[in-house]
Chains A and B, each alone.
Chain A
Amino acid sequence: MSRQPQIALLPDRRLHLQDGPIDLIIGADGSEADIREAYRAAAERFTGLLDELCAELPELRRAADPDHRALKGVVARRMHDAVASFARETFITPMAAVAGAVAEEILGAMTRTARLTRAYVNNGGDIALHLQDAATFSVGLMDRPDSEGVLRRMTLRADDAIRGVATSGRHGRSFSLGIADAVTVLARSAAQADAAATVIGNAVDLPGHPAVLRRPACELQPDSDLGHRLVTREVGDLSDAEVATALTAGERCAQALLSNGLIEGAVLQLCGTICVVGARPIEIVRPPQLRAAAA
């Protein structure tokens, strides 16, 4: 049976692609013909992509071997490569980079065939970016999916080397071993950002803290790649000192990744406290209403 993804053009000219758990919102700037060509290429590449991944799903759900890559598919290999540098130190499966790797693949298909000044593929908050010349992207940060409005906004430029933005945290669709509300990572690729956000998100933690409710991942999702590992379900009241402790643990992890060149920057959020890690200052613009409230 041939299964086709859902392909829809949104009224504001964005493209929506959905297949199973993959949900992409795509934007592109360029000539009319280039945009059409880019969208066509995106839809074409997207068709069958999920089947490709599922063909290797058992392997993708296993802990990555830092020295050996058994995977065949181009997206699967990208997932593996993104997590391999973490695999020596910690348990991680290629699934930690699936969203970013898919976003990158679709963006690649678009930019290979069309001349675009700017494009993005947003895969549920894991975003692959294309920036040319003087183009910029404005990226909003939120602490949790159900909050209204963005907390911070930052501007990404073509010369930033940042081509991937990913957010991980306990409110997202995937499970987190840590307690961060959100960890947003800027990296050279979306897959890299995705994997790093997972790792940093896991590091923001207060091991054994009684206010943190954890459950084995497999109890919640029988086929989770995290198996029996405890994932965070709820975080009760934490003191300011405890929040600082957890954030510092995450910050240390992020700093290490930064100095190894694995990420370009990160924003860690926990219980309303924000911690920014970056080689150069990320331009963070507080929305006016927050500025007014702070004044």
Chain B
Amino acid sequence: MVTETASDGAGDKIRCDACPVMCYIKPGAAGACDRYANQDGVLVRVDPHILLERTVSHGGKLVPFQASGDWDGKIVHQPELFVTAIGAGTTYPDYKPAPFIVSSVVEGVDMVTVVTEGIFSYCGVKVKIDTDRYLGPEAATVRADGEAVGHVTTSEYGSQMLSLGGVHHLTGGSKKEGRVTCDALMDLSNRKAVELTIDGGASVIVQAGQPPIVNGVKEERMRVGCGSATIGMFAKQWQGKVDEVVVVDDHITGVLSEHQAGKLLDIPATGIKMKGRRSTPGRYFQVAQPGTGWGGTDISDPLAILGPFDPKTAKPGTTLLMVSTTGEHAGYYVLDDALKPVQRDMPPELQFSVERIQENCEPALCTVLFMAGAGGSLRAGVTDNPVRLTRSVKDALTRVTSGGAPVYVWPGGGITYMVDVTQMPAGAFGYVPTPALVAPIEFTMTLSDYAALGGHMDYVQPLDSLKDVSKDIRQLPWPGQGA
């Protein structure tokens, strides 16, 4: 393994064992080859675009380059050796045949892995941001560095979705738009933090596997449910401890005494009056504007969503808990003689219930799925009859992976896939100035199937031989069998 480097006792430089030159490399510097560098004491493959630039200098023509990426050892090792496409090298238009066509025996079946790096102009990322805070209106433009790189798409459960990249931003706009989009996609895919601003909405720092930071505030928790659902979940725990509970939520605010769950527990009416639009008893839409305050609304004072209590029902001394869907905000109030809620210290047992809500909220994360379509020319690197590869993938005879990570292949035409970038080795993505992203893609199938679909059989190399050739083979998780 390349990452197992001997540390030089005398300093922070490391000695690269990738080739017999055995360079000593200082932190932040690259070895004589420009392929390996010392990144914080760890030997890594350097970013491919540097090499590409160098390559361009070597006579002005593109040659296959070594992409970056090294195995960070984070994913559980499994016994089968799997060759990833990271660093396989490719050219644009695509290499024919793919750089490595490797045969190995997996579970007694003679398998072939066609390993290549695809250059994807048709690619983008789907970002799921676990937050109830308002990020911006649906279809609003998402910007990086001032350039349009995508848009806000539908809200999903407890999260906001962004759709970034795609061929129109990469190649359809200005040169800067393409470059910025490409950078943003590559950084997001390589699990770096990217600051995005949404027209008419928030600024959010997105990093795969990390909590989102919305307008400078780090999101801690993903809500356990909508306000109404939270009432349903915790009604019994509140019974007898507080007269009324309001769970503030931009989507559906729940009110205990009116809610079905409260009725079932015979919780008496409190005379509370909610703003917003009543959906069904105890469930309210649009109690406020969306925002980054309580429960994804724009409010900082929860009493703002209450009307005056009904004097016919309400009694002085009635206790009221107001809490957001994540338990992040909470306040305890008691009605005074004028039936006005007055904030008081929260009793411990109610504090406990607020903490229970927090505990049930999962950590908020950003997730980034890279999505791309393998075009005909990439497929031609695998077989002389590209459409057969598509069919083979659709028939589940050929497994597609990206940097060894499992992918979801969309039904329908072509090979359009999505992959969770956190499942891939670090630094797996590169770019070319087209602009387009370079991503690893592997096609694995039995040798006989490979021959049947018109594979480049002359180029098949046994895995054993490749093991000696290249240090780029690492143990990677074999995606779940039969998945």
Contacts and interface: CB of A to CB of B under 8 A. Distances in A.
B273 interface: no
Contacts, number: 96
Given A3-B19, A3-B468, A221-B23, A10 B91 contact: yes
A140 B13 contact: no
A11 B380 CA distance: 12
Nearest to A223: B24
A142 B20 contact: no
Given A122-B59, A145-B57, A21 B26 contact: no
B57 A11 contact: no
Interface stretch (B28-36, B213-221, B236-244, B359-367): B28-36
A223 B23 contact: yes
Contacts of A125: 57-59
Interface string A106-136: 0000000000000000101101000000000
Nearest to B31: A21
Contacts of A173: 32, 34, 54
Contacts of A155: none
A241 interface: no
B89 interface: yes
A16 B63 contact: yes
B57 A10 contact: no
A248 B173 CA distance: 46
Q: Which of A57, A146, A223 has the most CB of B within 10 A?
A: A223
A40 interface: no
Given A50-B21, A222-B13, A8 B89 contact: yes
Contact of B60 (A8, A50, A140, A223): A140
A23 B19 CA distance: 13
B64 A16 contact: yes
Contacts of B31: 21
B57 A144 contact: yes
Nearest to B94: A11
Interface string A135-164: 000001010111001100000000000000
Contacts of A171: 57
Interface residues of A, number: 40
Given A173-B34, A221-B32, A223-B24, A142 B60 contact: yes
Interface string B435-473: 000000000000000000000000000000000111000
Interface string B70-93: 000000000000000000010100
A2 B24 CA distance: 22
Given A3-B468, A11-B91, A21-B32, A142 B19 contact: no
A21 B21 contact: yes
A236 interface: no
Interface in B23-73: 23-26, 29, 31-35, 53-54, 56-61, 63-64, 66
Contacts of B99: 8
Given A21-B31, A125-B57, A6 B23 contact: no
B21 A146 contact: no
Given A21-B33, A54-B21, A124 B91 contact: no
A16 B18 CA distance: 19
B63 A6 contact: no
A220 B34 CA distance: 13
Interface in A143-197: 144-146, 149-150, 171-173
A122 B58 contact: yes
A51 interface: yes
B95 interface: yes
A222 B34 contact: no
A293 B469 CA distance: 48
Given A25-B63, A122-B58, A125-B59, A57 B468 contact: no
A20 interface: yes
A11 B32 CA distance: 28
Contact of A11 (B23, B29, B66, B96): B96
A1 B24 contact: no
B367 to A, nearest CB: 35
A125 B64 CA distance: 15
B306 interface: no
Interface string A1-45: 111111010110010101111010100000000000000000000
A36 to B, nearest CB: 13
Given A21-B33, A173-B54, A150 B20 contact: no
A20 B469 contact: no
A4 B469 contact: yes
Contacts of A57: 21
A6 B469 contact: yes
A108 to B, nearest CB: 20
B25 to A, nearest CB: 8
A219 B12 CA distance: 12
B60 A11 contact: no
B55 to A, nearest CB: 8
A146 B433 CA distance: 11
Given A6-B470, A124-B54, A221 B26 contact: yes
5 residue pairs, one from A and one from B, having the closest CB atoms = A20-B19, A145-B57, A21-B33, A54-B20, A222-B24
Given A127-B59, A221-B29, A222-B13, 12 more contacts: A3-B19, A10-B64, A10-B95, A21-B32, A21-B34, A21-B35, A25-B63, A54-B21, A142-B57, A173-B34, A222-B25, A223-B23
Interface of B: 11, 13, 18-26, 29, 31-35, 53-54, 56-61, 63-64, 66, 89, 91, 95-96, 99, 468-470
20 contacts: A6-B470, A8-B99, A10-B64, A11-B91, A11-B96, A16-B63, A21-B19, A25-B61, A50-B21, A124-B54, A127-B59, A145-B53, A145-B54, A145-B57, A219-B26, A220-B29, A221-B32, A222-B11, A222-B13, A222-B24
